[in-house]
């Protein structure tokens, strides 16, 4: 029995990609596998996504592109992030497409490079805000030009601003495509793919949803998505607690009635955030039990109830299903005041990943 494990259902990723591809059709599917596949494992997630119909993969860094190629993964790969001169060499050596928004960047690229020009329509990060400059970059790219792109700032919560961004992006992209008929126009992330048909263009870049996580922070099942990740440990110890006895650093849980405290050997070094202290549930023996006391580096404690000693050795699920109960990453995120992305990306490398087909 392992102390902590993240079990990843690759079949769920494959089915989620197929589901999103059917929504996006006839647009091409690009699966975003940056951030170690949002904590699920970049290479296994990429292979599952390709099996589900993703013809493109996207990452944030040159090293991620190199990692895909080193694993023997073929097909188009887009590096979406900024690149230093040294990182650019790594990206090009990995046969990855790169993103440009300055003429000087394009002019230094070799003839074999493949370029996507980025127009900043409202995200306010990478890209140029000037459509005329973006067009000049595209013309400077010449035969190296592959795509035209933007990035939505509010697709998950403000469709009105998405519409504003499309007002800027669409005419620029259409004019550029008229001059370059083979151009791939792309803008949509997971939320826009599901919510904004006008944003799908030629290619969609789906990240969070391919892992069965809801881009709107509600219930992925509402969009036909299956969560791929289960985070689990086990009950290593259980001891009675009389009224007045405590559990954990700082005595942040003190028993008010006789109960049984279970110790689960997983903690903040594994990605279970300390802010979940007295603020989460764990599934044990098919039921929810409250996380009590302070989350420490290597352990948490749970209130198993008066008869809880029988739970020693039983599986403890922090994210996922057990019996008829489930705990979604979205629930954990709400308790933390964050988003599901951070919950799964925050599962540390100390937690082994196990993959099931």
Partners of 320 in the β-ladder: 327
From the CB of residue 333, how many other CB atoms can be counted at a distance below 10 Å? 19
Local confidence band at 266 (pLDDT 50, 70, 90 cut-offs): very high
User: What is the rounded average pLDDT for all residues in the chain?
Assistant: 98
Q: Kindly report the CATH number that applies to the domain delimited by 10-213.
A: 3.20.20.10
Local confidence band at 142 (pLDDT 50, 70, 90 cut-offs): very high
Q: Going by C-beta distance under 8 Å and a sequence separation of 6 or more, which residues neighbour residue 313? A: 1, 234, 235
- Residues, the chain: 357
Q: Nearest to residue 35, comparing CAs of 275, 271, 199?
A: 271
pLDDT digits (tens, 9 = 90+) for 31-59: 999 999 999 999 999 999 999 999 999 99
Residue recorded with tokens 């793919």: 193
Indicate whether 290 pLDDT > 90: yes
As a whole number of angstroms, the distance between CA 188 and CA 41 comes to: 23
pLDDT at res. 357: 96
pLDDT digits (tens, 9 = 90+) for 207-232: 999 999 999 999 999 999 999 999 99
Q: What is the CA radius of gyration of the chain?
A: 23
- Tokens representing residue 304 in the block: 């198993």
pLDDT at res. 211: 99
Partners of 254 in the β-ladder: 246
DSSP reduced 3-state for 79: strand
As a whole number of angstroms, the distance between CA 354 and CA 41 comes to: 10
As a whole number of angstroms, the distance between CA 72 and CA 43 comes to: 9
pLDDT at res. 237: 97
pLDDT digits (tens, 9 = 90+) for 80-137: 999 999 999 999 999 999 999 999 999 989 999 999 999 999 999 999 999 999 999 9
Partners of 128 in the β-ladder: 119
The residue that leads in pLDDT, 309 or 14, is 14
Ordered by start, the domain boundaries in the chain are 10-213, 229-327
- Tokens representing residue 132 in the block: 């005329």
Partners of 98 in the β-ladder: 79, 115
Distances (CA, A) of 208 to 63, 126, 205, 257, 313: 21, 20, 10, 42, 33
Q: 58 exposed, middle or buried (CB, 10 Å; 0-12, 13-18, 19+)?
A: buried
Catalytic residues: 34, 249
Local confidence band at 1 (pLDDT 50, 70, 90 cut-offs): confident
Q: Domain 229-327 - what CATH class?
A: mainly beta
What's the pTM value of the predicted model, to 2 decimals? Answer: 0.96
């Amino acid at each position: 029995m392992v102390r902590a494990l993240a079990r990843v259902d690759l079949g769920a990723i494959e089915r989620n990609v197929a589901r999103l591809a059917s929504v996006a059709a006839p647009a091409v599917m690009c699966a975003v596998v940056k951030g170690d596949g949002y904590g699920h494992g970049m290479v296994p997630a990429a292979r599952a996504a390709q099996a589900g119909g993703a013809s493109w993969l996207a990452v944030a860094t040159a090293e991620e592109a190199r990692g895909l190629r080193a694993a023997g993964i073929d097909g188009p790969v887009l590096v979406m992030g900024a690149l230093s001169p040294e990182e650019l060499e790594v990206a090009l050596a990995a046969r990855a497409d790169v993103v440009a928004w300055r003429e000087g960047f394009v002019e230094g690229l070799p003839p074999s490079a493949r370029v996507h020009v980025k127009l900043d329509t409202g995200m306010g990060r990478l890209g140029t805000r000037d459509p005329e400059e973006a067009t000049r970059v595209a013309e400077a790219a010449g035969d190296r030009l592959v795509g035209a792109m933007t990035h939505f700032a509010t697709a998950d919560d403000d469709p009105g601003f998405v519409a504003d961004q499309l007002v800027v992006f669409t005419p620029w992209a259409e004019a550029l495509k008229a001059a370059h008929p083979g151009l791939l126009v792309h803008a949509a992330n997971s939320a826009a793919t599901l919510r904004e048909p006008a944003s799908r263009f030629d290619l969609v870049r789906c990240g969070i949803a391919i892992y069965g996580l809801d881009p709107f922070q509600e219930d992925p099942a509402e969009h036909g998505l299956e969560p791929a990740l289960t985070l689990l440990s086990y009950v290593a110890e259980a001891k009675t607690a009389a009224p007045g006895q405590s559990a954990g650093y700082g005595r942040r849980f003190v028993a008010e009635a006789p109960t049984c405290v279970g110790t689960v050997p997983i903690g903040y070094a594994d990605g279970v955030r300390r802010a979940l202290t007295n603020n989460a549930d764990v599934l044990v023996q098919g039921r929810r039990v409250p996380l009590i006391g302070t989350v420490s580096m290597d352990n948490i404690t749970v209130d198993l109830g008066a008869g809880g000693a029988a739970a020693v050795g039983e599986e403890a699920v922090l994210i996922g299903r057990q019996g008829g109960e489930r705990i979604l990453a979205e629930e954990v995120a709400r308790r933390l005041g964050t988003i599901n992305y951070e919950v799964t990306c925050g599962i540390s490398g100390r937690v082994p990943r196990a993959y099931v087909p």
